[in-house]
Amino acid sequence: MTVTLERSVRQDPPADGPDPVDTPRTVGGRTRDDVFSLAGSAAGSLALTWLVFTIILGWTGRLGFVIVWFIVFAALYAAVTSWTNPRIAVVDRLASALVTAGAATVGIALASTVIFTVVNGIDALTHINFYTDDMAGVAPRDPLTQGGILHAIVGSFIMVGIATVVSLPLGVGTAIYITEVGSRGGKWVRTVVEAMIGLPDILAGLFVYVTLILALGTQRSGFAAGMALAIMMTPIIARSAEVQLRVVPGGLREAGLALGATRWRTVKGIVVPTAKAGLATALILGIARAVGETAPVLITSGASTFLNFNPLSEPMNSLPLFILFALRSGQPVYIERGFGAAVVLLGIVLALFVMARMLAKNRMSR
């Protein structure tokens, strides 16, 4: 039995005629069922929770209220969905609700941290002397019009600067050793570096304290704190730099060798420039981490009140250390200063982050 197949040949539309209309359709998207069952469940569960939680059971605590509300909401949402949808859709919606709630919780906690800090520090921040004075001669109870955190800001800069000068070459050099030279030694170095990333910060401070300060007899100083910070920073920079170098395609290295370059020139002229943006990002993130470290600084440099530019002698204060002492002082005014300093610290970390992100974006657009 034969089947006759239709034959067709494409007819191109006439060259001088109008173009045939061809617009894409919208596909997917939310249905009314999606929107209304979500909104209805949210409202209904809120009312139910208020009724049961506050009136009937008389429990207290906002945190608890929110938790109970979510549980009731989930139950109600599942019930509503099951009226018109099969089981896998119910599970899918519940999962969505749970995942979104989890992420929202984390987001709210983060926002709450930042907002709380800013709200409590805003008073101190509006005084110009906060940025230009140090705390020398200022009693803890003195009003906010006196004293400032200049010494802490300067101290943080100097310490992090010292740490960067030490950890950048060590970190990048180690990364180059691991990725470009390789060999068995490289594997050992890599293992140790990875292990050291998780080193508790207080132990870095202890190590520097016992070696530099006790054994070699130097004082607690900005330099010692810088060294402790370098111990924290180096493994982080080394690991991030290693990742960035490894991402550079092997074909580029081969092309360099095939042109007659030595390995050094290949690394210097091709690999590092290609990874430059990533390496800069790694450095900036390392600095952001170091500037917020309190524990190593606590042990290796004292919390002074006066402005000190010399890292080699005299205690040197820093932002995190200032905040710690301010918060523990028990004096409301001093605590406000502490929160103000915390906002400054957050601002510095945020600025570094924005810089790192802009660098990363720059690289993408090339």
Partner 1 sequence: MTVIDIESRMAEPVDDEPRAIDPGLSREDKIFHGSVRSIGFFVLIVFGSIGVFLGYQSIPTFSHYGFSFLTETQWNPELDQVGIAAVIVGTFQVALVAIVVSLPLALLTALYISEYAPQRLKSSLVSLVDLMAAIPSIVYGAWGFAFLQEHAKYVARWLSQYLGWIPFFSVDTDPNAALWAQTQFTASAFIAGLAVAMMTIPMACAVMRGVFAQAPVGEREAAVALGATRWGVIRSVVLPFGRGGIIGGSMLGLGRALGETIAVLLIISPAYDIKWSVVEVGTQTTSSLIAGLFGEATSFQLSALLTAGFVLFIITLVVNMIAAVFVGRSRSGSITEA
Partner 2 sequence: MSAQTMEDRPVEIERPPAGAHLEAIGVSAWFASHKVLERVSLEMRPGIVTALIGPSGCGKSTFLRTLNRMHETIPAAKFGGEVRLNGEDIYDAGRRITETRRSIGMVFQKPNPFPAMSIGENVLAGPKLNGTRVARSDRDALVERSLTRAGLWNEVKDRLFKPGGALSGGQQQRLCIARSLAVDPDILLMDEPCSALDPGSTNVIERTIGELKDEVTIVIVTHNMQQAARVSQQAAFFLATDGTPGVIVESGDTEQIFGDPKDQRTSDYVNGKFG
Let me know if 145 is exposed, middle or buried by CB neighbors in 10 A (0-12, 13-18, 19+).
Answer: exposed
Token couple for 135: 């705390």
Contact assessment for residue 151 and residue 308, using Cβ atoms and an 8 Å cutoff: yes
Token couple for 284: 């900036």
From partner 1, partner 2, none, which one binds at residue 328 (CB under 5 to 8 Å depending on kind)? partner 1
| Among positions 75, 285, 355, 359, the unique one binding partner 1 when judged by CB under 8 A | 285
From partner 1, partner 2, none, which one binds at residue 276 (CB under 5 to 8 Å depending on kind)? partner 2
**CA pair distance 307, 305, nearest whole angstrom:** 7
According to CB under 8 A, which residues from 250 to 269 bind partner 2? 251-252, 254-262, 265-266, 269
| Among positions 54, 82, 112, 362, the unique one binding partner 1 when judged by CB under 8 A | 112
**Is the CB of 276 or the CB of 328 nearer to partner 1?**
328
Let me know if 99 is exposed, middle or buried by CB neighbors in 10 A (0-12, 13-18, 19+).
Answer: exposed
Which residue, among 95, 90, 45, has the nearest Cα to 67 in the 3D structure? Answer: 45
- Of the listed pieces 26-34, 60-68, 129-137, 248-256, which binds partner 1 according to CB under 8 A? 60-68
| Among positions 33, 34, 92, 254, the unique one binding partner 1 when judged by CB under 8 A | 92
According to CB under 8 A, which residues from 187 to 226 bind partner 1? 188-189, 192-204, 206-207, 210-211
Contact assessment for residue 228 and residue 297, using Cβ atoms and an 8 Å cutoff: yes
Helix, coil or strand: residue 317: coil
**Is the CB of 123 or the CB of 268 nearer to partner 2?**
268
From partner 1, partner 2, none, which one binds at residue 137 (CB under 5 to 8 Å depending on kind)? none
Binding mask 27-56 for partner 1 (x = CB under 8 A): ------------------------------
Neighbours of 166 (CB within 10 A): 17
**Is the CB of 142 or the CB of 180 nearer to partner 1?**
180
Question: Should residue 100 be labelled a site residue for partner 1 when binding is judged by CB under 8 A?
Answer: yes
| Among positions 48, 75, 78, 327, the unique one binding partner 1 when judged by CB under 8 A | 327
According to CB under 8 A, which residues from 275 to 314 bind partner 2? 276
Token couple for 302: 């004292």
From partner 1, partner 2, none, which one binds at residue 355 (CB under 5 to 8 Å depending on kind)? none
**CA pair distance 356, 334, nearest whole angstrom:** 33
Helix, coil or strand: residue 111: helix
Q: How many CA atoms lie within 13 A of 260 on its CB side?
A: 0
